[in-house]
Structure 1
Amino acid sequence: MIQTQSQHQRHADLNLPETLDTADAKLVYLYLRVENEATIDELHAALGMKKITLYPLLQILTTTDHVDRTGTQYVCQQQTTSGGNL
């Protein structure tokens, strides 16, 4: 499959924060970075993760300022290249 430069650049911008230490946290974070936002139901359906697993992961991602919650939507906070928040 041939990728255009913009597709390649978009994937290159998906750097993970160094503080994410579990595969599940990284997966949820990357999903939210790619999709921009999601509800717990959407994360459950898309990732096949149990909600009982997603709730504590999202709580950790929220308290560590990687993810914001607005109502039922979760969104990734924008990260700078050094891994800090904008």
Structure 2
Amino acid sequence: MLEQYGITEQEYDDYVGHYKNVMEEFEKKKRMIQNCHRGDGLDQDYELMAYSNTKIDYEYIINLIQILLHQQKRRRYNTRRETEEDR
């Protein structure tokens, strides 16, 4: 049969190998596209996690600032009391 098409057994095996490689690549891309459409290939929680971490970081920083401001007010109050007592 190969003689009918003018190719050797080695050429046929090479074509089969190339065909299988191409089909494997197509299948990989097809699975990747299907996974993306289903969402399996994407981390859908990433944006939520990023926002959540930002919110936590923001709240943590605001809390630290409030503590710092409260401590400064208390120091000023104590300093005023001390100066008034000295008078």
Regarding TM over 0.5, the answer is no
Higher strand share: 1
Q: Based on CA coordinates, which of the two structures has the bigger radius of gyration?
A: 2
Normalised by the shorter chain, which TM-score bucket? Answer: under 0.3
Structure scoring higher RCO (CA < 8 A, sep ≥ 6) equals 1
